[in-house]
Structure 1
Amino acid sequence: MSQSPPAPDELMFRRVDLGEVTLNVGEAGPGDGPVVILLHGFPESAAGWHRQVGPLARAGFRVVVPDQRGYGLSDKPERIEAYHLDRLAADVVALGRACGAERFFLAGHDWGGLVAWWVASFHSEQVIRLAILNAPHPGIVAGYIRHHPGQWLRSLYVGFFQLRGFAERWLTADDAKALRRALVSTSREGTFSKADLDAYAREWTRPRAMTAMLSWYRALLRLPRRDPPRVTMPTLILWGKRDHALQPGLAEASLRLCDSGRIRWFPDATHWIQHEEPVAVSSALESFLQPSEQP
């Protein structure tokens, strides 16, 4: 008996060898559509975009959603050097090429947003349009924190994440109770279901997974980075103002690095904006990214 083809908005996963790492990558939408790459943040995976996949696929995009290195079913290198922003950005460019797209649309949330900013700054010829959800440009964070002590206090958890071994044990103990609680307490009521958290916990507690995920933070603080050039492509920043960890001023400071950008504020949304405002976020991405604008 033949199997029915997948729905056009259903993610179909495959392994994509990028040379240095192999990623678990979900795809949906027309195979000949313009490629949009969606990058998740901590502590999620490709599943963090599940509410946007269908609308973008139905709008005509070929939606590409990877588990980034260290996450989900993707490879988990051991050394923190493997999680330098340059390498994370190189994964995105290599993934676009593996999908046959020298140029692509790009959106990122949280850590995926930091990577997307880095790709846009250093690989501007590959990015047609850029959308960022609650994520500051890495190039402005240190300067912003120096002048805004309130943001320094909100960022103290990054210091805790530097405690190799202890942080891993704390976050994964009792079936990842602490990390489950963190997602629930920093989002609007009902944002993450028990099924959502159970699925994430299975990923967080895989061998070496939490160390790989925390290595992103460790590399950010310990490894030197280049000064980024300006962001030249059209850029849209979507920002939930009730973010527990990131002040709205970070969005404004990031916008000042853009030649052509704007911010859309979501006054009642938290850090988890694409989960809490799925219809509005999907609509904003669809209208801004413009699938009719071919690479």
Structure 2
Amino acid sequence: MTELSIITGAGVFDAITAGPPEGRPVLLLHGFPQTGLVWRRQIAALAARGHRVVAPDQRGYSPGARPQRPEDYRMDLLVGDVLAITEELGWAAFDLVGHDWGGAVAWWTADAHPERVRTLTVVSTPHPGALANALRTDDDQRERSQYMIDWRETPATEQRMLAHDARELRAVFAGKVPQDSADAYVRHLSRPGALTAALNWYRAGRPDGPIGAVDVPTLYVWSTQDSAFGAAAAQETGRWVKGPYRFETLHGVSHWVPEEAPDTLSRVLLEHLGEHGEFSTAARTPRSTTPDRGDS
């Protein structure tokens, strides 16, 4: 893996890359409160199979692309970053993978620009339409999502999270993320302005306009111990996909799937990409998965 700087009109994005330059391109989008490092095990697996992989630190996480206002983190701008990054890389079409907030950006990108997205893989984050329905009708999901309101509306969230050697920020990972990775995320977000920028994703407000059902081949991976997203939205997500759809349930795994169950995630991701080298009309039935014993 090597480091890469991607220069766009919105700023300079730091990224990790691997794989042959001529390989099939895959873009990996991280969520809060992490960086492109979250994908290191998937990057290695994809590159070993000949894919060209890029995992950028997204808007606010890259120091060279860190506007200060919350409104500079609107969803349309985050989607615009995906387009700008891939255009700079020379990718007319690409496979798109996202986790947590990166998953939300991936859903919106696939909806708005299906001609660019060869396949979609989203980890943890349900389709925004399914999540919106669950927030209206499901008490469990409303309780799970309360933290978003707290972080958005509390001005001192940054100071509280970073106090006492970032005790509260470290607690977000709940011991499910490798210690070296957790330390790296804390160091990254402890730099001036970094955590405020990351929290501005929550403070930017809801996306403008509705989102429709995506029609690209889609893999959705949800885990039963996810504290942020419950079963109601996860199970409804398939209604929001018009193209071939595969739903994987990981039993006994928390929200931090890429690092807690890396081998299982890499396996199903590679299967998904292999099944859809070209757009296919063969839909998949939902499956439940127990993480491979090699996951750690």
User: Of 133, 147, 150, which aligns to 2:123?
Assistant: 133
Aligned counterparts of 2:111 and 2:232: Cα–Cα separation in 1: 20
Q: Does 1:250 align with 2:240?
A: no
Q: Does 1:279 align with 2:269?
A: no
Aligned counterparts of 1:184 and 1:230: Cα–Cα separation in 2: 33
| Count of residues in Structure 1 that have an aligned counterpart in Structure 2 | 278
- The alpha carbon displacement at 1:64 in A equals 0.6
What are the superposed Cα offsets for residues 199-220 of structure 1, whole Å, 9 maximum, x if unpaired?
111111111111100010111x
Aligned counterparts of 1:164 and 1:74: Cα–Cα separation in 2: 26
Q: Does 1:205 align with 2:195?
A: no
What are the superposed Cα offsets for residues 14-70 of structure 1, whole Å, 9 maximum, x if unpaired?
221110222112110000011100000100000111111111001111001000011
Partner residue of 2:45? 55
Q: Check 1:41–1:271 CA distance in 2 against 1; reply closer, same or farther (3 A cut).
A: same
- The alpha carbon displacement at 1:192 in A equals 2.2
Q: Does 1:118 align with 2:118?
A: no
Structure 2 contact 222–248 (Cα < 8 Å) conserved: yes
4+ long deviations beyond 6 Å = none
Structure 2 contact 119–276 (Cα < 8 Å) conserved: no
What are the superposed Cα offsets for residues 69-124 of structure 1, whole Å, 9 maximum, x if unpaired?
11144421011121111111111111111111110001101110000001000011
User: Of 202, 227, 233, which aligns to 1:217?
Assistant: 202
Q: Check 1:183–1:216 CA distance in 2 against 1; reply closer, same or farther (3 A cut).
A: same
Aligned counterparts of 2:59 and 2:275: Cα–Cα separation in 1: 27
5+ unaligned residues in a row in structure 1: which ranges? Answer: 1-9
- The alpha carbon displacement at 1:184 in A equals 2.1
What are the superposed Cα offsets for residues 176-235 of structure 1, whole Å, 9 maximum, x if unpaired?
1111012125x3xxx421x2222111111111111100010111xx34511112200110
Q: Check 1:181–1:282 CA distance in 2 against 1; reply closer, same or farther (3 A cut).
A: same
User: Of 35, 58, 64, which aligns to 2:54?
Assistant: 64
Aligned counterparts of 2:238 and 2:227: Cα–Cα separation in 1: 20
Q: Which amino acid aligns with 1:201?
A: V
Aligned counterparts of 2:275 and 2:248: Cα–Cα separation in 1: 20
Aligned counterparts of 2:113 and 2:88: Cα–Cα separation in 1: 16
TM-score of the superposition, structure 1-length normalised? 0.90
RMSD: 1.7
Give aligned-pair identity as a percent: 37
SS in 2 for 1:269: strand
